[in-house]
């Protein structure tokens, strides 16, 4: 099962996970008018390298942990796969949403 980026990333997008991915399966884009990242489920090799890289814990280990966001990731991944990379946001940059906490 592929890893999944959840709504915690919506409007945040640190992109710190991208450099850790050995198969380049994490793609940026806009969803619901906000910046976001998705993991392409067909490309993800379940290595877990991205998980500790997200400073707000927006990534979960499998689709069962967040089925709704797994569906969003799967739907957007194929259309976002050719989007240009985005700059990495500093890990210590405070979250924009008050519900997110740096982990």
pLDDT at residue 1 is higher than 90: no
Residue 94 in tokens: 């405070």
Work out the percent of the chain whose per-residue pLDDT is above 90: 98
Range of the domain at 49: 4-80
Residue 88 domain-assigned (yes or no): no
Residue 89 domain-assigned (yes or no): no
For the chain, the domain total comes to: 1
Strands (E), the chain: 4-5, 26-31, 34-39, 59-60
pTM of the predicted structure, to 2 decimals: 0.96
pLDDT at residue 77 is higher than 90: yes
- How many other C-beta atoms can be found within 10 angstroms of the C-beta atom of residue 56? 20
Please tell me the distance from the alpha carbon of residue 47 to that of residue 9, in angstroms, as a whole number: 20
* pLDDT tens digits, one per residue of 33-65: 999 999 999 999 999 999 999 999 999 999 999
Hey, what's the torsion of the CAs at 56, 91, 84, 46, to 10 degrees? -50
CATH number of the structural domain spanning residue 44: 3.30.70.20
Residue 42 domain-assigned (yes or no): yes
């Amino acid at each position: 099962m592929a890893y999944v980026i959840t709504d915690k990333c919506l409007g945040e997008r640190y992109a710190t996970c991208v450099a850790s991915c050995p198969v380049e399966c994490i793609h940026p884009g806009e969803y619901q008018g906000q910046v976001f990242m998705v993991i392409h489920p067909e490309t993800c090799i379940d290595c877990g390298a991205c998980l500790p890289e997200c400073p707000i814990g927006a990534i979960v280990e499998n689709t069962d942990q967040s089925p709704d966001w797994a569906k969003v990731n799967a739907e957007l991944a194929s259309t976002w796969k050719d989007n240009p990379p985005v700059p990495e946001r500093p890990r210590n940059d405070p979250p924009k949403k008050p519900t997110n906490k740096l982990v």
